[in-house]
Structure 1
Amino acid sequence: MFKKFSVKEDVSGSTSLKSSVQRHVRNSLLEQLPLLSQPAYKEGGETAAPPAEPAPAPAAEPEEEEEPVKGKGKGGKGGKKGGKGGKKAKKEEVPAPAEDKEMQVLDELWPKNEPLGITKCHERINIYTVSSVPIFFNHFDGPFMPTLRVLHRYPALLPHVQIDRGAIKFLLAGAHMMAPGLLSKGGVLPDGLAKDAIVAIHAEGKEHACGIGRMSASSEEIRKAGKGVAVEVVCWVGDDFWKLKEIGL
Protein backbone atom coordinates (compact mmCIF):
# COMPACT_ATOMS: atom_id res chain seq x y z
CA MET A 1 0.00 0.00 0.00
CA PHE A 2 2.84 2.39 0.85
CA LYS A 3 5.69 0.85 -1.15
CA LYS A 4 5.90 3.97 -3.26
CA PHE A 5 4.24 6.90 -1.53
CA SER A 6 4.87 10.58 -2.18
CA VAL A 7 3.06 13.49 -0.55
CA LYS A 8 3.38 15.59 -3.71
CA GLU A 9 2.09 12.90 -6.04
CA ASP A 10 -0.29 10.80 -3.94
CA VAL A 11 -2.09 13.29 -1.66
CA SER A 12 -5.37 14.73 -2.92
CA GLY A 13 -6.07 17.07 0.00
CA SER A 14 -6.44 17.50 3.75
CA THR A 15 -9.27 18.81 5.91
CA SER A 16 -10.71 18.68 9.43
CA LEU A 17 -13.62 16.30 9.86
CA LYS A 18 -17.04 17.50 10.98
CA SER A 19 -18.02 16.80 14.58
CA SER A 20 -20.57 14.17 13.56
CA VAL A 21 -18.00 12.35 11.44
CA GLN A 22 -15.45 12.53 14.25
CA ARG A 23 -17.93 10.88 16.62
CA HIS A 24 -18.51 8.11 14.08
CA VAL A 25 -14.76 7.58 13.66
CA ARG A 26 -14.22 7.51 17.43
CA ASN A 27 -16.98 4.93 17.93
CA SER A 28 -15.64 2.80 15.08
CA LEU A 29 -12.12 2.88 16.51
CA LEU A 30 -13.34 1.81 19.95
CA GLU A 31 -15.33 -1.02 18.39
CA GLN A 32 -12.61 -2.29 16.05
CA LEU A 33 -9.64 -1.89 18.40
CA PRO A 34 -10.82 -2.86 21.92
CA LEU A 35 -7.58 -1.78 23.61
CA LEU A 36 -8.44 1.84 22.84
CA SER A 37 -11.39 1.66 25.24
CA GLN A 38 -9.21 0.52 28.15
CA PRO A 39 -8.47 2.99 30.98
CA ALA A 40 -5.40 5.16 30.54
CA TYR A 41 -3.59 6.93 33.35
CA LYS A 42 -1.70 10.17 33.09
CA GLU A 43 1.50 10.45 35.08
CA GLY A 44 0.43 13.82 36.43
CA GLY A 45 -2.86 12.40 37.68
CA GLU A 46 -1.18 9.63 39.66
CA THR A 47 1.42 11.84 41.29
CA ALA A 48 -1.02 14.63 42.11
CA ALA A 49 -3.61 12.40 43.79
CA PRO A 50 -1.76 11.16 46.94
CA PRO A 51 -0.90 14.60 48.45
CA ALA A 52 -4.56 15.62 48.24
CA GLU A 53 -5.75 13.03 50.78
CA PRO A 54 -3.77 14.02 53.91
CA ALA A 55 -4.44 17.74 53.41
CA PRO A 56 -7.93 17.82 55.05
CA ALA A 57 -6.95 15.50 57.91
CA PRO A 58 -4.95 18.01 60.03
CA ALA A 59 -7.79 20.54 59.76
CA ALA A 60 -10.41 18.05 60.95
CA GLU A 61 -8.53 16.58 63.93
CA PRO A 62 -8.02 19.80 65.97
CA GLU A 63 -11.67 20.73 65.56
CA GLU A 64 -12.80 17.39 66.94
CA GLU A 65 -10.59 17.90 70.01
CA GLU A 66 -12.03 21.38 70.67
CA GLU A 67 -15.66 20.20 70.71
CA PRO A 68 -15.59 18.57 74.19
CA VAL A 69 -13.94 21.67 75.69
CA LYS A 70 -16.38 24.23 74.30
CA GLY A 71 -19.41 22.07 74.95
CA LYS A 72 -22.70 23.28 73.56
CA GLY A 73 -21.72 26.91 73.19
CA LYS A 74 -21.77 28.88 70.00
CA GLY A 75 -18.09 28.29 69.65
CA GLY A 76 -18.80 24.56 69.72
CA LYS A 77 -21.28 24.91 66.93
CA GLY A 78 -18.74 26.89 65.00
CA GLY A 79 -16.28 24.08 65.57
CA LYS A 80 -18.77 21.57 64.22
CA LYS A 81 -19.38 23.70 61.19
CA GLY A 82 -15.66 23.94 60.67
CA GLY A 83 -15.45 20.16 60.98
CA LYS A 84 -18.14 19.74 58.33
CA GLY A 85 -16.28 22.16 56.13
CA GLY A 86 -13.18 20.00 56.49
CA LYS A 87 -15.15 16.93 55.42
CA LYS A 88 -16.48 18.74 52.38
CA ALA A 89 -12.97 19.74 51.39
CA LYS A 90 -11.93 16.10 51.60
CA LYS A 91 -14.76 15.03 49.31
CA GLU A 92 -13.75 17.65 46.77
CA GLU A 93 -10.14 16.41 46.71
CA VAL A 94 -10.89 12.69 46.22
CA PRO A 95 -12.62 12.80 42.78
CA ALA A 96 -9.47 14.18 41.09
CA PRO A 97 -7.92 10.76 40.34
CA ALA A 98 -11.33 9.41 39.29
CA GLU A 99 -11.26 11.67 36.23
CA ASP A 100 -7.95 10.12 35.15
CA LYS A 101 -9.41 6.64 35.53
CA GLU A 102 -12.15 7.57 33.09
CA MET A 103 -9.61 8.45 30.41
CA GLN A 104 -9.19 5.89 27.68
CA VAL A 105 -6.14 4.89 25.66
CA LEU A 106 -7.75 6.60 22.68
CA ASP A 107 -7.80 9.88 24.63
CA GLU A 108 -4.01 9.75 24.86
CA LEU A 109 -3.69 9.44 21.11
CA TRP A 110 -6.60 11.68 20.23
CA PRO A 111 -7.61 14.08 23.04
CA LYS A 112 -11.30 14.92 22.96
CA ASN A 113 -10.61 18.64 22.59
CA GLU A 114 -8.40 18.07 19.52
CA PRO A 115 -9.93 17.99 16.02
CA LEU A 116 -9.28 14.98 13.83
CA GLY A 117 -7.84 15.70 10.41
CA ILE A 118 -8.05 13.51 7.35
CA THR A 119 -5.65 13.41 4.42
CA LYS A 120 -7.10 11.74 1.36
CA CYS A 121 -4.67 9.98 -0.92
CA HIS A 122 -4.83 8.23 -4.25
CA GLU A 123 -6.16 4.66 -4.35
CA ARG A 124 -8.72 5.71 -1.69
CA ILE A 125 -6.29 5.69 1.20
CA ASN A 126 -7.28 7.87 4.18
CA ILE A 127 -4.77 9.01 6.78
CA TYR A 128 -6.20 10.34 10.06
CA THR A 129 -4.12 12.89 11.95
CA VAL A 130 -4.03 14.84 15.21
CA SER A 131 -1.98 18.03 15.00
CA SER A 132 -0.64 16.78 11.65
CA VAL A 133 0.68 13.55 13.20
CA PRO A 134 -0.67 10.35 11.55
CA ILE A 135 -2.27 7.99 14.06
CA PHE A 136 -4.59 5.75 12.00
CA PHE A 137 -5.31 4.98 8.37
CA ASN A 138 -7.65 2.87 6.28
CA HIS A 139 -8.39 1.96 2.70
CA PHE A 140 -11.72 3.28 1.39
CA ASP A 141 -14.22 2.31 4.13
CA GLY A 142 -12.18 -0.65 5.39
CA PRO A 143 -11.02 -1.30 8.96
CA PHE A 144 -8.93 1.26 10.79
CA MET A 145 -5.26 0.42 11.25
CA PRO A 146 -2.80 2.12 13.60
CA THR A 147 0.41 3.50 12.20
CA LEU A 148 3.50 1.51 13.11
CA ARG A 149 4.65 4.26 15.47
CA VAL A 150 1.35 4.02 17.35
CA LEU A 151 1.60 0.23 17.34
CA HIS A 152 5.05 0.45 18.92
CA ARG A 153 3.53 2.49 21.76
CA TYR A 154 0.62 0.08 22.20
CA PRO A 155 1.74 -3.38 20.98
CA ALA A 156 -1.49 -5.05 22.12
CA LEU A 157 -3.60 -3.06 19.64
CA LEU A 158 -3.36 -5.87 17.09
CA PRO A 159 -2.94 -9.66 17.25
CA HIS A 160 0.62 -10.80 16.52
CA VAL A 161 2.13 -13.16 13.99
CA GLN A 162 5.85 -13.81 13.76
CA ILE A 163 8.11 -14.56 10.81
CA ASP A 164 11.44 -16.36 11.02
CA ARG A 165 14.77 -14.61 10.52
CA GLY A 166 15.00 -15.66 6.90
CA ALA A 167 11.83 -13.74 5.98
CA ILE A 168 12.90 -10.41 7.50
CA LYS A 169 14.73 -9.17 4.41
CA PHE A 170 11.68 -9.91 2.26
CA LEU A 171 9.37 -8.06 4.66
CA LEU A 172 11.61 -4.98 4.65
CA ALA A 173 11.51 -5.06 0.85
CA GLY A 174 7.71 -4.91 0.90
CA ALA A 175 7.03 -8.53 -0.07
CA HIS A 176 4.00 -10.40 1.22
CA MET A 177 4.69 -12.99 3.90
CA MET A 178 4.55 -16.61 2.81
CA ALA A 179 3.20 -19.46 4.92
CA PRO A 180 6.58 -21.21 5.45
CA GLY A 181 7.94 -18.09 7.19
CA LEU A 182 5.19 -18.36 9.80
CA LEU A 183 5.13 -22.14 10.13
CA SER A 184 8.87 -22.68 10.52
CA LYS A 185 10.68 -23.05 13.84
CA GLY A 186 11.20 -19.30 14.25
CA GLY A 187 7.69 -18.37 13.14
CA VAL A 188 4.51 -18.04 15.17
CA LEU A 189 0.97 -18.35 13.83
CA PRO A 190 -1.68 -18.12 16.58
CA ASP A 191 -4.87 -20.14 16.32
CA GLY A 192 -8.17 -18.47 15.56
CA LEU A 193 -7.07 -15.67 13.25
CA ALA A 194 -9.71 -15.08 10.60
CA LYS A 195 -9.27 -14.24 6.95
CA ASP A 196 -8.82 -10.45 6.43
CA ALA A 197 -7.85 -9.91 10.09
CA ILE A 198 -5.38 -7.05 10.56
CA VAL A 199 -2.23 -8.27 12.33
CA ALA A 200 1.08 -6.95 13.62
CA ILE A 201 3.99 -8.69 11.92
CA HIS A 202 6.81 -9.41 14.34
CA ALA A 203 10.16 -10.91 13.43
CA GLU A 204 12.20 -13.53 15.23
CA GLY A 205 14.60 -11.85 17.65
CA LYS A 206 13.06 -8.36 17.28
CA GLU A 207 11.23 -6.50 20.05
CA HIS A 208 8.81 -4.34 18.07
CA ALA A 209 6.54 -5.08 15.14
CA CYS A 210 8.25 -4.73 11.78
CA GLY A 211 5.07 -4.39 9.76
CA ILE A 212 1.29 -4.51 9.59
CA GLY A 213 -0.61 -6.84 7.33
CA ARG A 214 -3.90 -8.50 6.45
CA MET A 215 -4.45 -12.23 6.76
CA SER A 216 -5.00 -13.70 3.30
CA ALA A 217 -6.56 -16.81 4.87
CA SER A 218 -7.47 -18.10 8.32
CA SER A 219 -4.88 -19.70 10.60
CA GLU A 220 -6.34 -23.14 9.98
CA GLU A 221 -6.34 -22.71 6.20
CA ILE A 222 -2.73 -21.51 6.19
CA ARG A 223 -1.60 -24.51 8.25
CA LYS A 224 -3.50 -26.88 6.02
CA ALA A 225 -2.06 -25.44 2.80
CA GLY A 226 1.46 -24.96 4.16
CA LYS A 227 2.39 -22.70 1.26
CA GLY A 228 1.32 -19.55 -0.55
CA VAL A 229 0.78 -16.02 0.73
CA ALA A 230 -0.24 -15.96 4.39
CA VAL A 231 -0.16 -12.23 5.17
CA GLU A 232 -0.54 -9.39 2.69
CA VAL A 233 1.82 -6.67 3.89
CA VAL A 234 0.28 -3.19 4.21
CA CYS A 235 3.19 -1.21 5.65
CA TRP A 236 6.58 -1.92 7.19
CA VAL A 237 9.47 -0.25 8.96
CA GLY A 238 11.42 1.83 6.48
CA ASP A 239 8.73 2.33 3.83
CA ASP A 240 7.66 5.79 2.67
CA PHE A 241 4.80 5.92 5.19
CA TRP A 242 7.18 5.12 8.05
CA LYS A 243 9.36 8.07 7.02
CA LEU A 244 6.33 10.37 7.08
CA LYS A 245 6.15 11.97 10.54
CA GLU A 246 3.70 14.77 9.70
CA ILE A 247 1.11 15.30 7.00
CA GLY A 248 -1.93 17.43 6.32
CA LEU A 249 -3.39 19.95 8.77
Structure 2
Amino acid sequence: MFKKFEEKDSISSIQQLKSSVQKGIRAKLLEAYPKLESHIDLILPKKDSYRIAKCHDHIELLLNGAGDQVFFRHRDGPWMPTLRLLHKFPYFVTMQQVDKGAIRFVLSGANVMCPGLTSPGACMTPADKDTVVAIMAEGKEHALAVGLLTLSTQEILAKNKGIGIETYHFLNDGLWKSKPVK
Protein backbone atom coordinates (compact mmCIF):
# COMPACT_ATOMS: atom_id res chain seq x y z
CA MET A 1 0.00 0.00 0.00
CA PHE A 2 2.81 2.42 0.85
CA LYS A 3 5.41 0.95 -1.50
CA LYS A 4 5.44 4.00 -3.77
CA PHE A 5 4.29 6.50 -1.16
CA GLU A 6 6.03 9.88 -1.20
CA GLU A 7 5.03 12.76 1.05
CA LYS A 8 5.03 15.49 -1.57
CA ASP A 9 3.21 13.55 -4.26
CA SER A 10 0.93 11.30 -2.25
CA ILE A 11 -0.61 13.67 0.33
CA SER A 12 -3.35 15.70 -1.31
CA SER A 13 -4.74 17.62 1.68
CA ILE A 14 -4.41 18.01 5.43
CA GLN A 15 -7.41 18.85 7.60
CA GLN A 16 -7.60 20.00 11.20
CA LEU A 17 -10.11 17.84 13.08
CA LYS A 18 -12.94 19.14 15.25
CA SER A 19 -12.86 18.08 18.89
CA SER A 20 -15.97 15.93 18.44
CA VAL A 21 -14.30 14.03 15.59
CA GLN A 22 -11.15 13.64 17.70
CA LYS A 23 -13.20 12.12 20.52
CA GLY A 24 -14.83 9.74 18.06
CA ILE A 25 -11.48 8.59 16.69
CA ARG A 26 -10.09 8.10 20.21
CA ALA A 27 -13.17 6.04 21.11
CA LYS A 28 -12.79 3.89 17.97
CA LEU A 29 -9.11 3.32 18.73
CA LEU A 30 -9.84 2.30 22.31
CA GLU A 31 -12.60 -0.01 21.12
CA ALA A 32 -10.32 -1.64 18.55
CA TYR A 33 -7.26 -1.77 20.82
CA PRO A 34 -8.35 -2.14 24.48
CA LYS A 35 -4.74 -2.63 25.66
CA LEU A 36 -3.95 0.88 24.43
CA GLU A 37 -6.04 2.56 27.13
CA SER A 38 -3.20 3.10 29.60
CA HIS A 39 -1.04 4.87 26.99
CA ILE A 40 -3.57 6.63 24.75
CA ASP A 41 -2.79 9.99 26.38
CA LEU A 42 0.87 9.63 25.44
CA ILE A 43 0.04 8.83 21.83
CA LEU A 44 -2.94 11.14 21.30
CA PRO A 45 -3.35 13.62 24.17
CA LYS A 46 -6.88 14.95 24.71
CA LYS A 47 -5.85 18.60 24.47
CA ASP A 48 -3.74 18.06 21.36
CA SER A 49 -5.04 18.96 17.92
CA TYR A 50 -5.06 16.07 15.49
CA ARG A 51 -4.98 16.31 11.75
CA ILE A 52 -5.97 13.97 8.95
CA ALA A 53 -3.77 13.78 5.88
CA LYS A 54 -5.75 12.55 2.90
CA CYS A 55 -3.63 10.64 0.44
CA HIS A 56 -4.01 8.94 -2.91
CA ASP A 57 -5.88 5.62 -3.13
CA HIS A 58 -8.30 6.61 -0.32
CA ILE A 59 -5.67 6.44 2.41
CA GLU A 60 -5.97 8.60 5.52
CA LEU A 61 -3.15 9.27 7.96
CA LEU A 62 -3.89 10.39 11.51
CA LEU A 63 -1.31 12.96 12.61
CA ASN A 64 -0.71 14.06 16.18
CA GLY A 65 0.15 17.65 17.15
CA ALA A 66 3.83 17.17 16.32
CA GLY A 67 2.94 15.96 12.82
CA ASP A 68 3.93 12.34 13.45
CA GLN A 69 1.92 9.71 11.62
CA VAL A 70 0.45 7.49 14.32
CA PHE A 71 -2.40 5.61 12.63
CA PHE A 72 -3.61 5.08 9.08
CA ARG A 73 -6.57 3.51 7.35
CA HIS A 74 -7.68 2.57 3.87
CA ARG A 75 -11.17 3.75 2.91
CA ASP A 76 -13.43 3.11 5.92
CA GLY A 77 -11.38 0.20 7.20
CA PRO A 78 -9.93 -0.14 10.68
CA TRP A 79 -7.35 2.29 12.01
CA MET A 80 -3.95 0.59 11.91
CA PRO A 81 -0.86 1.71 13.82
CA THR A 82 2.24 2.80 11.97
CA LEU A 83 5.38 0.77 12.57
CA ARG A 84 7.04 3.68 14.38
CA LEU A 85 4.21 3.67 16.92
CA LEU A 86 4.25 -0.12 17.08
CA HIS A 87 7.96 -0.13 17.89
CA LYS A 88 7.33 2.25 20.80
CA PHE A 89 4.23 0.42 22.10
CA PRO A 90 4.46 -3.16 20.77
CA TYR A 91 1.97 -4.83 23.09
CA PHE A 92 -1.42 -3.51 21.98
CA VAL A 93 -1.75 -5.33 18.64
CA THR A 94 -2.07 -9.09 18.11
CA MET A 95 1.25 -10.50 16.94
CA GLN A 96 1.78 -13.18 14.32
CA GLN A 97 5.27 -14.56 13.78
CA VAL A 98 6.56 -15.71 10.40
CA ASP A 99 9.47 -18.05 9.81
CA LYS A 100 12.92 -16.90 8.66
CA GLY A 101 12.20 -17.77 5.03
CA ALA A 102 9.39 -15.24 4.82
CA ILE A 103 11.36 -12.24 6.13
CA ARG A 104 12.77 -11.05 2.81
CA PHE A 105 9.40 -11.35 1.11
CA VAL A 106 7.59 -9.42 3.84
CA LEU A 107 10.26 -6.70 3.71
CA SER A 108 9.61 -6.32 -0.01
CA GLY A 109 5.88 -5.82 0.62
CA ALA A 110 4.51 -9.28 -0.12
CA ASN A 111 1.46 -10.65 1.63
CA VAL A 112 2.09 -13.40 4.16
CA MET A 113 1.08 -16.80 2.89
CA CYS A 114 -0.47 -19.44 5.15
CA PRO A 115 2.52 -21.84 5.00
CA GLY A 116 4.73 -19.03 6.35
CA LEU A 117 2.52 -18.90 9.44
CA THR A 118 2.27 -22.65 10.03
CA SER A 119 5.88 -23.74 9.51
CA PRO A 120 8.09 -24.74 12.49
CA GLY A 121 9.67 -21.28 12.96
CA ALA A 122 6.35 -19.48 12.92
CA CYS A 123 4.00 -18.81 15.81
CA MET A 124 0.36 -17.77 15.58
CA THR A 125 -1.66 -16.02 18.25
CA PRO A 126 -5.35 -16.96 18.03
CA ALA A 127 -7.28 -14.22 16.24
CA ASP A 128 -10.37 -13.72 14.11
CA LYS A 129 -10.63 -12.77 10.46
CA ASP A 130 -10.09 -9.04 9.68
CA THR A 131 -7.98 -8.47 12.80
CA VAL A 132 -5.14 -5.95 12.59
CA VAL A 133 -1.89 -7.78 13.34
CA ALA A 134 1.78 -6.99 13.78
CA ILE A 135 3.92 -9.26 11.65
CA MET A 136 6.94 -10.37 13.65
CA ALA A 137 9.90 -12.42 12.44
CA GLU A 138 11.52 -15.47 13.94
CA GLY A 139 14.47 -14.32 16.03
CA LYS A 140 13.69 -10.59 15.71
CA GLU A 141 12.54 -8.18 18.40
CA HIS A 142 10.49 -5.60 16.47
CA ALA A 143 7.64 -5.89 14.00
CA LEU A 144 8.42 -6.14 10.28
CA ALA A 145 5.01 -5.10 9.05
CA VAL A 146 1.40 -4.35 9.87
CA GLY A 147 -1.38 -6.25 8.16
CA LEU A 148 -4.90 -7.59 8.27
CA LEU A 149 -5.76 -11.27 8.70
CA THR A 150 -7.66 -12.53 5.67
CA LEU A 151 -8.58 -15.77 7.46
CA SER A 152 -8.95 -16.64 11.12
CA THR A 153 -6.04 -18.52 12.66
CA GLN A 154 -8.15 -21.70 12.83
CA GLU A 155 -8.88 -21.42 9.10
CA ILE A 156 -5.19 -20.83 8.38
CA LEU A 157 -4.25 -24.01 10.27
CA ALA A 158 -6.97 -26.02 8.53
CA LYS A 159 -6.53 -24.68 4.98
CA ASN A 160 -2.78 -23.86 4.92
CA LYS A 161 -3.04 -22.38 1.41
CA GLY A 162 -3.36 -18.88 0.05
CA ILE A 163 -2.88 -15.49 1.66
CA GLY A 164 -3.03 -15.46 5.46
CA ILE A 165 -2.19 -11.81 6.15
CA GLU A 166 -2.61 -8.91 3.76
CA THR A 167 0.36 -6.60 4.31
CA TYR A 168 -0.40 -2.87 4.46
CA HIS A 169 2.73 -1.23 5.87
CA PHE A 170 6.26 -2.66 6.14
CA LEU A 171 9.75 -1.54 7.10
CA ASN A 172 11.42 0.81 4.61
CA ASP A 173 8.28 1.55 2.62
CA GLY A 174 7.23 5.10 1.81
CA LEU A 175 5.37 5.68 5.09
CA TRP A 176 8.33 4.41 7.13
CA LYS A 177 10.72 6.76 5.31
CA SER A 178 8.44 9.81 5.50
CA LYS A 179 9.19 12.61 7.92
CA PRO A 180 6.67 14.29 10.26
CA VAL A 181 4.14 16.38 8.35
CA LYS A 182 4.22 20.06 9.26
Q: Which band: TM-score by shorter chain?
A: over 0.9
Alignment partner of 1:197 out of 116, 131, 135: 131
Q: Which runs of 5+ in 2 are unaligned?
A: none
Output one character per residue of 1:41-95: Cα deviation in whole Å (capped at 9) or x when no partner. Answer: xxxxxxxxxxxxxxxxxxxxxxxxxxxxxxxxxxxxxxxxxxxxxxxxxxxxxxx
Deviation at 1:36, TM superposition (A): 1.9
What does residue 119 of structure 2 align with?
Answer: 184
The secondary structure found in structure 2 opposite 1:156 is: coil
Deviation at 1:206, TM superposition (A): 0.3
What does residue 98 of structure 2 align with?
Answer: 163
Structure with higher helix content: 1
The secondary structure found in structure 1 opposite 2:176 is: coil
Which amino acid in structure 2 is aligned with residue 197 of structure 1? T
Deviation at 1:245, TM superposition (A): 2.7
Q: How does 1:65-104 map to 2 (within 5 A)?
A: none
Q: How does 1:47-66 map to 2 (within 5 A)?
A: none
Which amino acid in structure 1 is aligned with residue 92 of structure 2? L
What does residue 40 of structure 2 align with?
Answer: 106
Q: Hey, what's the Cα distance between the residues in 1 that align with 2:124 and 2:130?
A: 15
Output one character per residue of 1:118-170: Cα deviation in whole Å (capped at 9) or x when no partner. Answer: 10011111101112111111112211111101111111111010000010000
Which amino acid in structure 2 is aligned with residue 186 of structure 1? G
Q: Does the 8 Å CA contact 2:6/2:178 hold for their aligned counterparts? A: no
Alignment partner of 1:174 out of 91, 101, 109: 109
What does residue 15 of structure 1 align with?
Answer: 15
Give the alignment's Cα RMSD to 1 decimal. Answer: 1.0
Which has the greater radius of gyration? 1
Structure with higher strand content: 2
Alignment partner of 2:60 out of 126, 130, 136: 126
The secondary structure found in structure 2 opposite 1:199 is: strand
Q: Hey, what's the Cα distance between the residues in 1 that align with 2:143 and 2:179?
A: 18
Q: Hey, what's the Cα distance between the residues in 2 that align with 1:226 and 1:211?
A: 21
Output one character per residue of 1:88-110: Cα deviation in whole Å (capped at 9) or x when no partner. Answer: xxxxxxxxxxxxxxxxx111011
The secondary structure found in structure 2 opposite 1:15 is: strand
Q: Does the 8 Å CA contact 2:106/2:170 hold for their aligned counterparts? A: yes
TM-score, normalisation: structure 1: 0.71
Alignment partner of 1:238 out of 155, 166, 172: 172
What does residue 139 of structure 1 align with?
Answer: 74
Q: Which runs of 5+ in 1 are unaligned?
A: 39-104
Q: List structure 1 segments (4+ residues) > 3 angstroms apart after TM superposition.
A: none
1:212 aligns with 2:146: yes
Q: Hey, what's the Cα distance between the residues in 2 that align with 1:18 and 1:110?
A: 14
Q: Hey, what's the Cα distance between the residues in 1 that align with 2:84 and 2:122?
A: 23
Matched residue count: 181
Q: Hey, what's the Cα distance between the residues in 2 that align with 1:13 and 1:209?
A: 29
Q: Hey, what's the Cα distance between the residues in 1 that align with 2:154 and 2:24?
A: 34
Output one character per residue of 1:21-56: Cα deviation in whole Å (capped at 9) or x when no partner. Answer: 111111111111112212xxxxxxxxxxxxxxxxxx
Deviation at 1:6, TM superposition (A): 1.6
Query: Identical aligned pairs, as a percentage?
Result: 44
